[in-house]
Amino acid sequence: MTEPVTAHSPNNDKAALCRLVGVSKSFGEVHAVRDVSLDIPGGEILAIVGENGAGKTTLMNALFGLLPPDSGRIEVDGKPCRFRSARDAISAGLGMVHQHFMLFPELTVLENILVGAEKASPLGMIDFRTRRDEVETLLGQFGFSLPLDARVSTLPVHARQQVEITKMLFRRAQIIILDEPTAVLTPAEIDGLFDMLRRLRDSGRAVIIITHKLDEVMRVSDRVMIMRNGEKVLETATRDTTRDRIAAAMMGREIASPPKTDCRQDAPVLEIENLHVTRETGLSTVRGIDLTIRAGEILGIAGVAGNGQKPFVEALVGLTPVAQGRLALAGKDITHASVGARRAMGLAYMAEDRMQTGLATDGMLWENTLAGRETNPEFSHRGWLQKRNIRDDARSIIKEYDIVATGPAQRVGDLSGGNKQKIIVGRELSGNPHLVIAENPSWGVDIGAMAFIHGRLLDAAKRGAAVLLVSSDLEELFALSDRVGVFYNGKLNGIFGRDELDVYRVGAAMAGQTSGETDDA
């Protein structure tokens, strides 16, 4: 049993580079941050965690001058500061790497590092040779390897992240904030990032990471602060806490992870033979995929974004035409079948982009639970919708999937991210489908909703459904999958059985190294 959570601060004898005192921020009647105080010393990595809407990013945006606090104060080097903009914060020694990088893709690495900090002469001339020498010295100090003359658009994601960090160091940032810094990195790149953050910490800087990945919190941070409902509920040295205690503090209750059991059967549900998908330009995006998913199996798909997973899924669902190859669902050819025909045959699809593809956010909840099932005899008779049955079904999904809503007539756009995702999960699983395709099903949801969704996917497999789980989160894939296939450059670069799942082995395949079995057994 997880012990009760109470707010407290760890003993800390380091001098604070920065201090937040009683900071609050509201948006209308929503209190995003409530009376948060925090000391940020140098020589430390601080993790700030909390579920979506907990206030962590709002708090850091207030610190970085992107949002004015309603009350409270910010001190840097013991002096009160009121930042009117991010430029003021940068001048005071703060730097922030956002989840979506703020770089000019057509400029070179050097130009991106210098922009806004060119140090021009009185005549407006920039001494690029001197600036270049300064940047190269800086890169050497922290072990970075960046091609200064390359355009940023040609760099891999982890190198772009290094450019952002180098920009901050060039501006002499002493307090470095990173928002979800590992979201788009492979395991090897995450290792490199963490080594970099430790070097920054050891140089006396303060490093703050905003994250929801608790394993990474335990691995890299020295101190952790947990927020819930805009308030600080726990602050402690990381060595003095546990992953489960942090999760309980985030949610206000203990979270039980559903157990994984092997439910695989012999019957093939989805058969993929020599699948090729091409763009309108003729460029191949999926090349020669052979794969079989069996009843009761959860097959995970890993890979760095942009390696063919998206067009692969769209071809399976029917959103993108198959250029070559064959698809079969429960023994029936669906290679050229419509989206509606595939759904009628038992294909369920939880789209990655719930706002654009998965839901009609301006529609009512019952309209969204009906979507894709309009021809079901229970809901339609001779072209007329059976609205009583439709609303009863929506009420059933609300209850069964623990959706916080006023009822079937509530506008979906007014619900939280977790409740939106539960609508999709409830709609897609309520018909007991043969095949479930789930793209990043726990993106943007809190730990409790994540555990709930995972449990429902496991239940679907127990009932005999085949589940294709496409996720950028290796922790999620490893927890749920019987096998994990890795996409690289449009191909399957290895399939790993459950006893072969190792973060570095799978990560190497994600980076293009050949590894893993490629048969369908």
The residue among 491 and 139 whose pLDDT is bigger is 491
- Give me the percent of the chain exceeding a pLDDT of 90: 49
Q: How confident is the model at residue 161 (pLDDT cuts 50, 70, 90)?
A: confident
Comparing 387-396, 410-419, 459-468, which segment has the lowest mean pLDDT?
Answer: 410-419
Task: Write out the DSSP string of 240-260.
Answer: GS-HHHHHHHHHTS--PPPPP
> In this model, does residue 6 exceed pLDDT 50?
no
Mean pLDDT of 148-153: 91
Mean pLDDT of 144-158: 86
Is residue 101 within 8 Å of residue 160, measured between CB atoms? yes
Residue 350: the pLDDT is 93
| Phi-psi group of 332: left, alpha or beta (phi > 0 → left; psi -120 to 50 → alpha; rest → beta) | beta
Q: How confident is the model at residue 125 (pLDDT cuts 50, 70, 90)?
A: low
Rounded Cα gap, residues 398 and 401, in angstroms: 6
> In this model, does residue 412 exceed pLDDT 80?
yes
157 CB neighbour count, 10 Å cutoff: 16
Task: Write out the DSSP string of 152-163.
Answer: GGGS-HHHHHHH
Q: Please state the three-class secondary structure of 491-518 as a single string.
A: EEEEEEEHHHCCHHHHHHHHCCCCCCEC
Mean pLDDT of 167-171: 87
Q: State the chain's mean pLDDT as an integer.
A: 87
pTM over cut 0.95: no
User: Which amino acid would we find at residue 101?
Assistant: F
Q: How many contiguous H segments (helices) and E segments (strands) does the chain have?
A: 16, 22
- Close Cβ partners of 217 (under 8 Å, ≥ 6 residues apart): 47, 49, 211, 224, 238, 243, 246
Mean pLDDT of 193-221: 91
> In this model, does residue 521 exceed pLDDT 50?
no
User: Which amino acid would we find at residue 14?
Assistant: K
- Strands 175-179 and 206-210, by their bridges, are parallel
Is residue 152 within 8 Å of residue 115, measured between CB atoms? no
Residue 4: the pLDDT is 38
User: Which amino acid would we find at residue 235?
Assistant: E
Q: How confident is the model at residue 120 (pLDDT cuts 50, 70, 90)?
A: low
Residue 222: the pLDDT is 97
Q: How confident is the model at residue 138 (pLDDT cuts 50, 70, 90)?
A: confident
Q: How confident is the model at residue 467 (pLDDT cuts 50, 70, 90)?
A: very high
Alpha-carbon Rg of the chain, whole angstroms? 25
- Give me the percent of the chain exceeding a pLDDT of 70: 93
Q: How confident is the model at residue 413 (pLDDT cuts 50, 70, 90)?
A: confident
Q: What are phi and psi of 246, to 5 degrees?
A: -65, -45
Rounded Cα gap, residues 507 and 185, in angstroms: 10
DSSP letter assigned to residue 413: G
Task: Write out the DSSP string of 57-95.
Answer: HHHHHHHTTSS--SEEEEEETTEEE--SSHHHHHHTTEE
DSSP letter assigned to residue 340: H
Mean pLDDT of 34-43: 94
Tokens representing 454 are 């995972």
Residue 14: the pLDDT is 67
Q: How confident is the model at residue 256 (pLDDT cuts 50, 70, 90)?
A: low
Residue 5: the pLDDT is 40
The residue among 519 and 16 whose pLDDT is bigger is 16
Residue 306: the pLDDT is 82
The residue among 129 and 287 whose pLDDT is bigger is 287
